[in-house]
């Protein structure tokens, strides 16, 4: 009878005879209605929080590669226009970290929800952002450290609270050191090629000390959630998801070339060169004006 009443089936073949029994039946019926409403309202909330988390993760595909890396992010934001965007990007990820912390502590099961692509995850995105903040805090010419410090603080709080929530102890790089000495030298060369120079002579030692404050937490969560962590170099990144097939490669080449800045002195020549190149490519791939 309790089951029939709780799930509001209401066969009516059993009827309570006492006042206490009738009171319990009313309470069970009300609890059953509340239970159904809770289930109906619970799933949309989870999906909303999940989609809000993944929207920022997907945005990193074009900004930092797939999987995202700190070097990939800096390389794609080199130049005067890109450097101006880095602080804005880190500010958005500071807000993302606070929202993720609130939602994943309230609903811990969201941490197990996977991204749509195998080489994307909220933890990998968090690692790339923290790595980028660490590079800026150590000292890169032309990059202000204020917003990097704020975002790094928020991101590390996410790691601390999440490891406490899942009772995950920090790991000591059981998956291997993400940035050994040889990898650091490679990172330094690629940063220099992208136009970023250290403004401190002890960059490797400072970076190692800063990494020790968050990488064990990252590694512990990655082992617990079975989420791989990418390296620091953009060479570790796979092809972007939006680039696939011949036309995808064409799109990438066109975006890279057409987004190059045009100097004031050679604007007409550069514009003509771009228009001529675009005409050749359009003819090669048989694209119309709208193609």
Q: What is the pLDDT of residues 135-163, one digit of tens each?
A: 999 989 889 999 999 999 999 999 999 99
Ranges of each domain in the chain: 2-40, 46-236, 245-284
Residues in a beta bridge with 66: 238
Residues in a beta bridge with 140: 198
CA angle 253, 131, 144 (to 5 degrees): 85
What pLDDT is attached to residue 39? 80
How do residues 167-206 score in pLDDT, each as one tens digit? 998 886 655 578 888 889 999 999 998 889 998 888 999 9
Low-confidence ranges of the chain (pLDDT < 50): 236-238, 262-266, 268, 272, 289, 291
Quick count: other Cβ atoms within 10 Å of Cβ 57?
A: 21
CB distance 212 to 130 below 8 Å: no
| Peptide bond preceding 234 in cis form (omega within 30 of 0) | no
What pLDDT is attached to residue 224? 93
Exposure of 137 in the CB half-sphere (CA atoms within 13 A) = 22
What pLDDT is attached to residue 123? 94
How far apart, in whole angstroms, are the C-alpha atoms of residue 221 and residue 229?
10
What pLDDT is attached to residue 273? 54
175 is written with which tokens? 């998956």
105 is written with which tokens? 């502590």
What pLDDT is attached to residue 84? 84
How far apart, in whole angstroms, are the C-alpha atoms of residue 145 and residue 49?
30
What pLDDT is attached to residue 239? 58
How far apart, in whole angstroms, are the C-alpha atoms of residue 246 and residue 134?
37
pTM of the predicted model, to two decimals? 0.74
What pLDDT is attached to residue 128? 93
What pLDDT is attached to residue 283? 59
């Amino acid at each position: 009878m309790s089951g029939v009443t709780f799930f509001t089936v209401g066969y009516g073949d059993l009827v309570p005879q006492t006042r206490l029994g009738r009171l319990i039946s009313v309470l069970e019926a009300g609890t059953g209605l509340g239970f159904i409403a809770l289930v109906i309202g619970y799933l949309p909330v989870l999906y909303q929080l999940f989609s809000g988390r993944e929207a920022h993760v997907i945005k990193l595909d074009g900004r930092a590669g797939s999987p995202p890396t700190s070097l990939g992010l800096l390389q794609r934001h080199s130049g005067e226009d890109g450097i101006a965007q880095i602080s804005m990007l880190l500010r958005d990820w500071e807000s993302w970290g606070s929202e993720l912390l609130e939602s994943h502590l309230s609903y811990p099961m969201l941490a197990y929800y996977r991204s749509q692509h195998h080489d994307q995850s909220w933890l990998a995105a968090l690692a790339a952002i923290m790595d980028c903040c660490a590079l800026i805090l150590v000292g890169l010419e032309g990059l202000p450290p204020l917003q990097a410090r704020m975002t790094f603080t928020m991101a590390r709080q996410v790691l601390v609270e999440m490891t406490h929530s899942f009772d995950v102890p920090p790991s000591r790089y059981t998956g291997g050191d993400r940035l050994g000495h040889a990898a650091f030298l490679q990172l330094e060369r690629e940063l220099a090629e992208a136009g970023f120079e250290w403004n401190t002579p002890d960059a490797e030692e400072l970076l190692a000390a800063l990494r020790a404050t968050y990488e064990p937490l990252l590694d512990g969560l990655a082992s617990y959630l079975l989420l791989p962590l990418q390296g620091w170099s953009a060479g570790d990144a796979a092809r972007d998801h939006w680039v696939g097939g011949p036309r995808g490669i064409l799109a990438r080449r066109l975006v890279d070339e057409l987004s190059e800045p045009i100097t004031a002195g050679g604007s007409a020549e550069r514009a003509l060169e771009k228009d001529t190149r675009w005409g050749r490519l359009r003819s090669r791939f048989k694209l119309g004006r709208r193609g």
